[in-house]
Amino acid sequence: MSITKIHHINFLVKDLDQGIEQYKKLLGTRDFIVDALPGRGVKTARTRVGESWLVLIQPVDMSGIPGQHLEQHGEGFFLISYGVDDLATAAEQVIANGSEMTSAESRKGLENWQVWDITMEDTFGAQIQLCEERD
């Protein structure tokens, strides 16, 4: 597997608008792209930080994974996503090396992102996913 970069880092927030304002002040960032992932039960805001994305996530469905994580752990770091050129090949390599993916298939993320999570048992409790940008 060839990881090309840190594609994005997700932080959970209770209030997306407040999170955007706080990160604008903190990082001097001006432009956030606001979006939603209804299948994940979240609203999002993202901004570029160099070649990577900083993504703020506000759960709107507390029964989903992000909502449950927010209830259990509070606001803050949620996951890191590593960029790969070929998601299927990268997942095959993870499995061949004795780890597991959290699902049988990848899922659509924001924009043209296709993502696939690695089980936390294999990542020392960190939420890690692989991401391929597709045309």
Q: What is the pLDDT of residues 99-131, one digit of tens each?
A: 999 999 999 999 999 999 999 998 998 999 999
CA distance 106 to 21: 32
Task: Compute the distance between CA of residue 11 and CA of residue 78 in angstroms, rounded to an integer.
Answer: 5
How far apart are the C-alpha atoms of 101 and 70, rounded to whole Å? 22
Q: How far apart are CA 93 and CA 66, in angstroms?
A: 26
- Please report, for the chain, the start and end positions of each structural domain, with discontinuous segments joined by +: 3-133
Mean pLDDT, rounded, for 34-56: 95
Of the candidates 9, 6, 5, 2, the residue with the CA atom closest to the CA atom of residue 127? 9
Q: How wide is the angle at C-alpha 92 spanned by C-alphas 89 and 95, nearest 5°?
A: 155
Indicate the pLDDT class of residue 1, thresholds 50, 70 and 90: low
Q: 3-133 — its CATH code?
A: 3.10.180.10
The pLDDT assigned to 61 comes to: 95
